[in-house]
Structure 1
Amino acid sequence: MQTISLWLAVAIVFLTGWAIIKKYQVNMVLFLAGFLLNVLALLNGTSDFLPKNATPTGLLGFDLFELFRAISRTQIAGVGFIILVSGGFASYMQVTGASDRFVTVCAKPISLLKNPYLILAFVFILGHCLGLVITSAAGLAMLLIVTVYPLIISVGCSPLAAAAVVASVLCVGYAPASGVAVMAAELVHLDPVQYLVSYQLTMAAPVVLVMALTHVIVQRYYDKKDGDKGVVADLAELEAKRKEIEKTPLIYAFMPILPLVLLLIFNKMVYKTITMNVATAMFLSWFVCFLIDLVYRRDAKKSFDLSFAMFKGMGSILTSTVGLIFVAAFFAKGLQNVGLITYLIDVAKNCGLGVTGTGVVLSAIIGLVTVLTGSGVAAFTSLAHVIPSVAEHLNSDGIAIMLMMHTASEMLRAISPVAGVIIIVAGFAQVNPLQVVRRTWIPCVVGYITMLIVVSLLFG
């Protein structure tokens, strides 16, 4: 019966992947898959499958939903709440214009450069650094289009080269601003700031430099090959948008980085007596920014109305991300209960894969799903919850595996023609998304391979 259950579990996993690729609603797909996997576990004789914070209902069928309730409650009280607050703060920064102003200030130094491909490299590095604050790939791409896209093509680069660089800048989602990165940190028992400083930044530095250099080589090659020097964008309209953004007071540019500054100062690595968690920093920053907006806007009613974006954003992130985490954890629990995770770990051990080999395989699977679906969040959250079990069986802390999987889901999004950021940038440049992917896939794959090597050497 155990062997049959494992094969049925594999069939459910493949069917789940097929449904996600076919654009079925991801939350419901993962919930149904998790439900079926847990039913299989029950049929296979598993009885003690409820966590400690759950009480049996007296009927196994009801216990499945008690399991889902317990998982959801745990997630919303922990990492889910941090993600809610982070999403709310990001929404507030957007409606006040602070995010836009932040990007315009950071983009200023680019105008001092003259070499077109040096500008391309600098834009990529700068855009990547902006990901510490702005977590939406599509949102960041649109801000860069308004601020630096005209500059790139005015100095001699093609619109396609500019589009490719802008579309691929967010290749790492950083904690604590990124909800998914916060989840990754929590799953390997790290403070989000520790995950950022000790692991993500260390890994990202060489990877981003390699990707920037690869972009220069690839874009210059294709520009020569295509002879594509025409400007398809309405630069006058972009210039007007940029000037409108710059009317926002300069102090607003510093508002998006306030939570990061607080967290980098008040943490266990700096202060032992004064520490601050992510949610507290976000709430405090929101209130300080509200006071600043109140003073500068001089319209109390407007400032009060805009402040509600914090809670509206939290509601939005609940439906888009936190709800997905609920069902993904339920799906992962089903994989564990049916015994598939233990079986795969045994296979990995017998093949001699170890920590590094297992991380490479899992990151490749997540990367493939990301490319096929265009969503790194769905790909990552589907499998991330199995990492603690995998790490325990491999006698590892799981950090290296998590870094590989998490970064793969972010980095390889830019080579998916159905990814939102690719579609948006291609639409603006008036080209087919495949034309953009033609210029992004080499830098992204080179970056991915570099990431695997760096993580293996430093943390494997």
Structure 2
Amino acid sequence: MQNTMLKKARVAFAIILGFIALIGLKFAFGDKAFVLITSFLVIVMVSAGIAKKYYAQAIILCGGISLLIITALFFPDVAITKVTSGSKLLDIFIEIKALFSDSIAKLGLIIMVIAGFSRYMNDIGASQKLVEICITPLKKINAKYVLLGTCYILMQILALFISSPSGLALLMLTTLYPVLRSIGCSKAAVASVIASGICIDYGPSASGSVLISEITGYDLFSFFVDKQIPIVAILFVVIGVSHMIMQAYWDKKEGEHHKQPQEDEQVMASASHIPGYYALLPVVPMIILFTFSSLLEEYLPTFLRFKIDVVSAIILSFFIAFILDSLRAFDLKKSTDKVLGLFDQMGQSFITVVSILLCAQVLVAGIIKIGFIDTLFSFIPSEEHYAILMIVLFSLLIFLGSVIMGTATVFNAFAPLSAEVARGAGISVFKMLVPLHFAASLGRSFSPISGVILAVSGFIGVTPFEIIKRNSVQLALAYVLMMILSIYLL
């Protein structure tokens, strides 16, 4: 009991001492030093908390609230929210409510609906059918290393419709893995290719893409076509060819190329009972968005020039899939039960992805309100080479954060802040955010605690470090090439 009371007294004393230190810092060194040091301390404490595996959302939210409280106390002239309540401290929580409301209504809803649709496609067997049809022509390729590289490219294309790295990997393990093993590919080589299947997040269904579209106000599908495809098309080919070379190198070095193909215990999951047209269902949202996008508007007759947003397109696609599945099953009870997965996944995506975005918005609001961005960039020259250096440094931080945490959601947490940094430095927001988005997913593929790597290594029976070793050259080459392409193409 006494120890607990002593600890509480120490914490209270530390808080009081810290508050006195802040006052002394402001009056001794001025506002700029106060803003920079205080903001850096909060960011470091947030980063340290995440690294120690504290609940990231709580740490980020507390960091944002702390900065807003400091702003209210030390800079009373700064408006915390648009319409004040009359109390600066109450304004903090009114602003948080406004941020939450806006984010959930727009970005949060998009992410949840995409996640739910992806789960529904899996539950009705449409994702499995799409994979099965795509794999069939690959069986005719005899050159095993060419097949490995081709399979990587196929997986990245499938990522447009199956956005979960772990979900796509598990589908590949039950469909593609037996095919590759049967033609003599080593376990480690197959594991490496499958684990890197979504090493680059992209496309309208990726949460990072949705976030960039929301931050920039750029149409989501147009962003995918204009800003992502020119880069990822080159990266996919380069990584695919690198897989052909590096997997052959490692097999030769480890003596795997001398081993005879052996029958594997895993049995290919069959989707033969699912109609072929089910393979089109995951693609329907892409077809709708592409057909009614600005890219094709001038080619459509006037009566077909509709406007449709991502959420509406996905809900329409779900309704089409539900009707088809109900007619096929001719069992309304069974068909409606499958919809449970859609809403369950929407809830899960709120817990894992949307919540961290909401908390990140509060942290960004605190950083902006206290004046950190304006103060920081008052010291930074505006020449082009400084801008490029800043992009590289930020991408490295995001990359390392993804490696440490094993997830690409690091980008979601810091994207709003990075966008403000880019605007303050006069850099194109796309030039800043696109390489950060790609760096986060590449970092996840380098992490031994990444969910997809752990799933693949456990299923096949190789260590996560063996997968990372075999993929290190490909991913490092992709990172460097991605940075070059982003800087010069965006």
Verify same fold: TM over 0.5.
Answer: yes
Q: Is contact 1:159–1:231 with CA below 8 Å preserved after alignment?
A: no
Q: Is 1:314 paired with 2:346?
A: yes
Q: Which amino acid aligns with 1:4?
A: F
Paired position in structure 1 for 2:150: 122
Q: Is contact 1:30–1:331 with CA below 8 Å preserved after alignment?
A: yes
Paired position in structure 2 for 1:403: 434
Q: Distance in 2 between matches of 1:231 and 1:390?
A: 55
Paired position in structure 1 for 2:38: 8
Cα deviation for residue 173 of structure 1 reads 2.0
Q: Is contact 1:355–1:401 with CA below 8 Å preserved after alignment?
A: no
Q: Is contact 2:183–2:261 with CA below 8 Å preserved after alignment?
A: no
Instruction: List alignment gaps of at least 5 residues for structure 2.
Output: 1-25, 299-304
Paired position in structure 2 for 1:237: 266
Paired position in structure 2 for 1:436: 467
Q: Which amino acid aligns with 1:39?
A: I
Question: How many percent identity over aligned positions?
Answer: 28
Q: Which amino acid aligns with 2:46?
A: T
Which runs of structure 2 are paired with 1:30-429 in the superposition (5 Å)?
Answer: 30-52=60-82, 55-228=83-256, 235-239=264-268, 242-243=269-270, 245-271=271-297, 273-349=305-381, 353-377=385-409, 379-429=410-460
| Corresponding residue pairs, total | 453
TM-score (norm 1): 0.93
Superposed CA offset, 1:317-339 (max 9, x none): 22221111100111111122223
Cα deviation for residue 236 of structure 1 reads 4.2
Superposed CA offset, 1:136-159 (max 9, x none): 111111111111112223222211
Instruction: List alignment gaps of at least 5 residues for structure 1.
Output: none
Q: Distance in 1 between matches of 2:59 and 2:160?
A: 31
SS of equivalent residue, structure 1 residue 402: helix
SS of equivalent residue, structure 1 residue 275: coil
Q: Is contact 1:188–1:397 with CA below 8 Å preserved after alignment?
A: no
Identify if the C-alpha distance between structure 1 residues 247 and 395 changes in structure 2 by more than 3 Å, giving closer, same or farther. same
Q: Distance in 2 between matches of 1:280 and 1:117?
A: 42
Q: Is contact 2:419–2:433 with CA below 8 Å preserved after alignment?
A: no
Q: Is contact 1:46–1:337 with CA below 8 Å preserved after alignment?
A: no
Identify if the C-alpha distance between structure 1 residues 143 and 42 changes in structure 2 by more than 3 Å, giving closer, same or farther. same
Superposed CA offset, 1:295-351 (max 9, x none): 111211111121233333222222221111100111111122223323443444368
SS of equivalent residue, structure 2 residue 80: coil
Identify if the C-alpha distance between structure 1 residues 389 and 300 changes in structure 2 by more than 3 Å, giving closer, same or farther. same
Q: Distance in 1 between matches of 2:389 and 2:347?
A: 39
Identify if the C-alpha distance between structure 1 residues 42 and 458 changes in structure 2 by more than 3 Å, giving closer, same or farther. same
Superposed CA offset, 1:418-451 (max 9, x none): 1111111111121221111111222111101101
Q: Distance in 2 between matches of 1:46 and 1:221?
A: 64
Paired position in structure 1 for 2:483: 452
> Based on CA coordinates, which of the two structures has the bigger radius of gyration?
2
Paired position in structure 1 for 2:21: none
Cα deviation for residue 286 of structure 1 reads 0.5
Q: Is contact 1:99–1:134 with CA below 8 Å preserved after alignment?
A: yes
TM-score (norm 2): 0.88
Q: Is contact 1:259–1:285 with CA below 8 Å preserved after alignment?
A: yes
Cα deviation for residue 367 of structure 1 reads 0.4
> What RMSD over aligned residues (CA atoms) do the two structures have, in Å?
2.0
Q: Distance in 1 between matches of 2:223 and 2:147?
A: 30
Q: Is contact 1:232–1:429 with CA below 8 Å preserved after alignment?
A: no
